[in-house]
């Protein structure tokens, strides 16, 4: 889940991001939030043998009469059973171009642009190795944007052999396809108060 964003007057680049401080972020947060809406997301979480994969699609709307360019901070859950992602890709969906990013200790920074009175869509894909029985995606920091999602969709795919499987949110539907169970969750006017967590009884095997 994208949680932090900093204002840059010109097109941001990765070298400049290194110099941005959290203090700078705090000063400009409220001003940007008034013009930029992070209004929709779609998260696809797929559990594999010893890792999980996230594909996140994020929608932004600029309601002002001025173009904005930003640097976003995208965090990962890193803990005793979840490693830093071993594969990360970021895309501008409209231009279908891959975007450079800067790695941080527990996340990445990447630039976005939202033209005046327009929308932008960005896609982040990553894979994280896990040694336990949990996959977790950060949701709670949505509150830092100041508004709930207009709509949020979560699709969780797990092998049908998983035992005692549970999700931190109630699901709307489930289907069996190609030896996988696919759970779907749709929320409207949604401000999360907990993360998306998927748990199962034991470590996966082939």
In the chain, where the domains are located: 4-199
The pLDDT score that the predictor gives to residue 195 is 97
pLDDT digits (tens, 9 = 90+) for 105-133: 999 999 999 999 999 999 999 999 999 99
User: Is 85 within 8 Å of 77 (Cβ atoms)?
Assistant: no
> 21-25, 83-87, 194-198: which has the minimum mean pLDDT?
21-25
pTM of the model: 0.85
Rounded mean pLDDT of 62-81? Answer: 92
pLDDT digits (tens, 9 = 90+) for 163-172: 768 999 999 9
Q: What are phi and psi of 160, to 5 degrees?
A: -70, -10
Architecture of domain 4-199: Sandwich (2.60)
Binned at pLDDT 50, 70 and 90, residue 29 comes out as very low
Residue 181's SS3 state is strand
User: Is 104 within 8 Å of 132 (Cβ atoms)?
Assistant: no
The pLDDT score that the predictor gives to residue 137 is 98
Where does residue 43 rank: exposed (0-12), middle (13-18), buried (19+ CB within 10 A)? buried
Binned at pLDDT 50, 70 and 90, residue 204 comes out as low
C-alpha 91/C-alpha 110 separation (Å) is 10
Q: Spell out the residues 6+ positions from residue 149 whose beta carbon is closer than 8 angstroms to its own.
A: 38, 39, 40, 41, 142, 187, 188, 189, 190, 191
Above 70 in pLDDT, residue 9?
Answer: no
195 against 160, higher pLDDT: 195
Residue 148 in tokens:
């709930």
Residue 141's SS3 state is helix
**CA-CA distances (angstroms) from residue 80 to 129, 146, 153?**
11, 31, 28
C-alpha 196/C-alpha 43 separation (Å) is 10
- 110's enclosing H/E stretch is strand 107-114
């Amino acid at each position: 889940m994208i949680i932090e964003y900093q204002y840059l007057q010109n097109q941001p680049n990765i070298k400049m991001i290194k110099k941005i401080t959290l203090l700078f972020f705090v000063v400009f947060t409220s001003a940007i939030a008034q013009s930029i809406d992070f209004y929709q997301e779609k998260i696809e979480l797929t559990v594999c043998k010893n890792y999980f994969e996230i594909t996140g699609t994020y929608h932004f709307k600029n309601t002002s009469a001025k173009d904005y360019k930003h640097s976003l901070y995208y965090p990962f859950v890193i803990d005793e059973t979840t490693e830093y992602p071993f594969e990360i890709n970021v895309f501008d969906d409209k231009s279908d171009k891959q975007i450079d990013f800067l790695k941080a200790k527990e996340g990445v920074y990447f630039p976005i642009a939202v033209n005046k009175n327009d929308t932008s869509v960005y896609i982040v894909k990553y894979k994280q190795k896990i040694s336990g029985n949990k996959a977790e995606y950060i949701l709670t920091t949505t509150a830092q944007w100041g508004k709930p999602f207009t709509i949020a969709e979560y699709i969780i795919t797990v092998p049908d052999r998983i035992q005692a499987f549970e999700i931190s949110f109630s699901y709307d539907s489930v289907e069996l396809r190609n030896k996988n169970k696919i759970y779907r969750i749709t929320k409207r006017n949604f401000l999360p108060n907990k993360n998306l967590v998927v748990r199962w009884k034991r470590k996966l095997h082939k």
